[in-house]
Amino acid sequence: MSIRTLYLCYFGLREPLVQTQVLPYLRQLAAAGIRVHLLTFEPRLRENWSEDGKTKQRERLAAGGISWYCLPYHKSPSVPATGYDIVAGARFAVRLARREGLDVLHARAHIPMAMALLAAKRLPEVRIIFDIRGLMAEEYADAGVWREGSHAFRAVKKLERNGLRRADGIVVLTRRMRDWLVDAGLAAAEKIEVIPCCVDPLHYQLGEEPGKVEKAATNDAEARFELVYAGSVTGLYMLEEMGRFFLEIRARRADAFFRVLTMSSSEQAASVLRRAGLSDEDFQVTGVPAAEVPAFLGRARLGVSFRKPTFSQIAASPTKISEYLAAGLPVVTTHGIGDTDHLVEGERIGIVVRGFDPGALSRAADETLALADESDIAARCRETAQRHFDLADIGGVRYLNVYRLLERKAARGGIGFVARGNQSTQE
């Protein structure tokens, strides 16, 4: 493909999410012949990045076919700072498009979509991909950050509608989100691609990395039946309910242990678990880099993910689910989270919890332990991860499909993707 794209990402390059959920896809697009440009927004840019550091990172990314650019991220005051970044991102996109002849602006989530829409006013021929990572307004409302119907809520919903209408290609994380967009008349099915949060299964085959497992292990690890939770412990995640579920497991398995892997406040997480009734001997809250997560997952028996089943969760594809499965862990999850119910129950690789009263948690614990004892459960989980969440065969292929769709649309319109590098760089 001779397409030139700018991927707009409102995160810093070093964020684990960018390292695991952005760069691998972009490398695959580049390997397919797409000229990839990446713009990130770096917190404390001057303090965190030296000129030499930026140069070395650009060289490393260029070796994989990615041209990297960065702008400073502004945090506060929140609304003016975000507005400033949107304008800065749009201006950068226009300049780069005119210099490099960009064909596509690929916006990862709502704020980058605002940049793309603003830039497109000056670039009428550019194609736009709206990569929807969730229902932003509803998620903020569900988490108690915004009030539904507030100015911020309505502004984001307007942005979302405009983005869906203008986008030439749309990426969503779940089939439920695709179906909702189509049923609501917000987008045509043929321009929507479903791409869940994927992982590289090789990272979770720890037999080749015994050093990491030994480093992760504690002296009595072999005697434990370990449950693990990886991720944020605030917002929509339900750590206290996970703690109560653990107590049901421990009532049946005296050797049960709960490990929480999070970059959130460890003391806050510990306080929540103590409130749920756990003693300090029952759990450990550990902050670990993303690269070390597979080692910890590799020594657990169950992966837990309790998340509030609100409307916004039709769009959710928690990365932790695919990570657990790739590590061979059966999943215990709340109902109503994206496509997870259908996957977990259809593949028999986990338990869906539909209530948090003592009876519901007791039944879930019985079912979970029975499933964990099945001799082929780990192999079944890994095979499911391979079929549904493989980074190359699922994620990479489907992202490439989005660009092929744009190429076909351009061909039908008789305009094609043409280099515009000889246009003026002046705005």
Task: Please check whether residues 157 and 30 belong to one and the same domain.
Answer: yes
Nearest to 106 by CA among 195, 182, 188: 195
Q: Is residue 347 part of a domain?
A: yes
Tokens 């678990």 sit at which residue?
273
Q: What is the pLDDT of residue 423?
A: 40
Model confidence pLDDT, tens digit, residues 57-96: 999 999 999 999 999 999 988 899 999 999 999 999 999 9
Q: Which residues contact 209 (CB under 8 A, 6 or more apart)?
A: 294, 295
Identify whether 422 is part of a domain.
no
- Pairing relation of β-strands 66-73 and 104-108? unpaired
Please tell me the pTM assigned to this model.
0.89
Residue 424 resides in a domain: no
Statement to judge: residues 372 and 395 lie in one domain:
no
Examine the domain organization and report whether 220 and 142 are in the same domain: no
**Residues 177, 235 within the same domain:** no
Q: Do you know the residue count of the chain?
A: 427
| 419 part of a folded domain | no
Residue 21 sits in a domain whose CATH number is: 3.40.50.2000
pLDDT digits (tens, 9 = 90+) for 386-400: 999 999 999 999 999
pLDDT band at 234 (very low <50, low <70, confident <90, very high): confident
Do 193 and 205 sit in the same domain of this protein?
Answer: no
Q: Is residue 57 part of a domain?
A: yes
27 backbone dihedrals φ, ψ, rounded to 5°: -65, -35
**Encoded amino acid at 169, one letter:** G
Cα–Cα separations (whole angstroms), residue 426 to 85, 120, 259, 422 = 20, 15, 55, 12
Whether 86 maps to a domain, the answer reads yes
Q: Provide mean pLDDT across the span 15-43.
A: 94
Strands 127-131 and 104-108: parallel
CB atoms within 10 A of CB 152: 16
**What mean pLDDT value characterizes the chain?**
91
Do the beta carbons of residue 36 and residue 30 sit within 8 Å?
A: yes
In this structure, the answer to whether residues 66 and 171 fall within a common structural domain is yes
**139 residue type, one letter:** E
- Print the domain residue range for 192: 4-198+390-413
Instruction: Please count the structural domains in the chain.
Output: 2
170 shares a domain with 282: no
pLDDT digits (tens, 9 = 90+) for 237-271: 999 999 999 999 999 999 999 999 998 788 999 99
Is the omega angle on the peptide bond into residue 77 within 30 degrees of 0, that is, cis? yes
Looking at residue 301, its pLDDT comes to 96
Structure-token pair, residue 297: 């997952």
In a domain, 352, yes or no: yes
**Does 347 share its domain with 205?**
yes
Q: How far is CA 345 from CA 153, 178, 300, 369, 384, in A?
A: 34, 21, 21, 15, 12
Residues 171, 36 share a domain: yes
pLDDT of residue 400: 95
Tell me, yes or no, whether 423 lies in a domain: no
Is residue 329 located within the same domain as residue 264?
yes
Same-domain pairing of 9 and 21 = yes
The 10s digit of each residue's pLDDT in 317-375 is 999 999 999 999 999 999 999 999 999 999 999 999 999 999 999 999 999 999 999 99
| 139 and 211 share one domain | no
pLDDT in tens, 180-206: 999 999 999 999 999 999 999 888 875
Judged against a pLDDT cut of 50, whether residue 213 lies above it is answered with: no
Q: Which helix (H) or strand (E) holds 117?
A: helix 110-120
